[in-house]
Amino acid sequence: FIFMIMRYLQVKEYVLSTYRIGNTMTLTSRNRKLLVSKISLVIGILASIGASMVGNFQEDNVIVAHIIGAYMAFGLGGLYSWIQAVLSYYIPEIHGSSKAARHIRVLCCILATVAFILSILFNLLEILAAYFGNDLSTRISSDNC
């Protein structure tokens, strides 16, 4: 959460100082970058709230809140990461945004997106298997009795 606020302030300060110096950044470009940064901050805060929900609502006790929090944490967290990765390409001069760091951010975003899609897919398969009575965990426990 704190790092998201720090990143927002870093981007805001860079964009405003670049505009004040009289660089080639137009007012529209400046406003667009600030808006994207604000939107990513809100998305990041929502992802943090989702992570808090996962920690505070145990899977065994309140499954719905736990699952909603997990999708918020991983889904919105991934979206936040993608926005920051793309933003780092539009502001390449910002501190900590070397060419290698930008490529590593994109690689991490790709891996996180694939993992998130796979988790959704396997979660749906588990729900379908339980709904149609093909749940392996119930078969194994009934065979051992």
SS (H, E, C) 56-121: HCCCCCCHHHHHHHHHHHHHHHHHHHHHHHHHHHHCCCCCCCCHHHHHHHHHHHHHHHHHHHHHHH
Q: How many CB atoms lie within 10 A of CB 4?
A: 19
Per-residue pLDDT of the chain (145 residues; tens, 9 = 90+): 899 999 999 999 888 887 666 565 667 888 888 999 999 999 999 999 999 999 999 888 888 899 999 999 999 999 999 999 999 998 888 877 789 999 999 999 999 999 999 999 998 888 888 777 765 555 555 555 5
Calculate the alpha carbon distances from 124 to 49, 74, 117 in Å.
24, 16, 11
Return d(Cα 114, Cα 111) in angstroms, integer: 5
For the CA atoms of 103, 108, 110, 115, the dihedral, rounded to the nearest 10 degrees, stands at 170
Helix (H, G, I), strand (E, B) or coil at 140: helix
Return d(Cα 32, Cα 24) in angstroms, integer: 14
Return d(Cα 34, Cα 77) in angstroms, integer: 19
| Residues written for the chain | 145
φ/ψ of residue 57, rounded to 5: -110, 105
Task: Report the predicted TM-score, pTM, of the whole model to 2 decimal places.
Answer: 0.81
